[in-house]
Amino acid sequence: MKNHVKLYDLTGKLDLRDERAISEALYRTGVYSQTHTFPIASLQFELTSHCNMFCKHCYNNSGIKNVAPDAMTPEKWIIFSKYLVAHGGIYECLLSGGEPLLLGKNLFKIMDILHNDGTCFTLITNGYLITEEVAKKLKKYNYHRFQVSIDGANAEYHDLFRQKRGSWENAVNAALAIVRNEIPLKIAHCVTPYNIHDIDDMCDLAYSLGASAITVGELCLSGRVGQNQDLLLSDNQRNILGQKVLENAYKYQGRMRVKTSNRVRFGLEQHQKRPNSGAIIRPNGDIKIDGMAPFVIGNVITDDFAEVWTRKLDSSWKHPKVKEYIASFSDDDRNYTFINYAENDIYI
């Protein structure tokens, strides 16, 4: 039915961990063009709203309805994945939650459908459910990155922050299992006023675990951070973070990539320039234009995804409410007028 170029064919010998090189390669193919829908550069699947932790900083407020089933059941994710393949496929699928490993065997069923079509993955996990056996099953797929979150250089802070005893030990063991199975490991580390002086130790830990990259970033004002604003950095603390990232980037140059996360407003402005570069499918089926923006343009359960993508995605970024939202970010890169994932999404 289709004949599109697979990501690994397109990029040839490029390192799939090199985000800039992959983006440039996709750009050269015209995949970000507004004149066609498929293949799609990137889609994020928020596979579930359920989580086995209740982290103080959760940007999308996962885990608050763990007893209620998601509208997007595993079976519906499988159907949607087959739909995407039949229509032309996607180059990268970002798998997140909640905690995506809670889907168990169904996670691999979803990944298999896309993998067999040439899709590359980014998987984001807290690591709690990754055993050696699970890591061996995950080895077969092509990854842009495999991200394990570790928010403390020791168990005491991490377990308190993620409100789950044993979560640090499991995350560390998960990272080791991922590396043993030759999967490219990236560590995501959230910096708050309470662990800002541990950045050096955290980078040392990431390197000792075999990570190829670590993102050391401050929290955005989104989700549960709205209730825990003491976790946000001051201007002075942000300067300390920036300096520490520079120092460790130099220290580990050529061995492990050390970077900070992009500013939220900058990310939205970049996405605004390339509307077709991606979107998010939420656990209720909603099609959200960006994880850092509260705007929904349709639902994959009730609407035809390709039609919504073609008809609404590009124009949605020109919508007055979207422009107003982006313009409302203050100099400290926070939107105090509307806290994403804490307030109801806006349908446009």
**3 state DSSP class of 186:** strand
d(CA 233, CA 274): 30
Residue 77 carries which side chain, given as an amino acid letter? W
* Blockwise average pLDDT, block size 10, the chain, 348 residues: 48 56 60 69 96 96 92 98 95 96 98 96 98 98 96 96 96 98 97 98 98 97 96 97 98 97 96 94 98 97 96 95 97 96 95
**Token pair of 69 as six digits:** 């089933």
pTM: 0.91
Provide φ and ψ at 61, rounded to 5°. Answer: 60, 35
DSSP string, 10-29: HHTT--TT-HHHHHHHHHHH
Number of domains in the chain: 1
In a domain, 159, yes or no: yes
In a domain, 51, yes or no: yes
In a domain, 52, yes or no: yes
pLDDT for 65 equals: 86
In a domain, 270, yes or no: yes
In a domain, 286, yes or no: yes
- By C-alpha distance, which of 113, 33, 126 is closest to 81? 113
In a domain, 300, yes or no: yes
Q: Would you give the distance in Å from CA 234 to the centre of its chain? A: 25
In a domain, 2, yes or no: no
Query: Domain range holding 51?
Result: 7-347
Q: Are 121 and 142 in contact (CB under 8 A)?
A: yes
d(CA 207, CA 10): 30
What is the CATH number for 224? Answer: 3.20.20.70
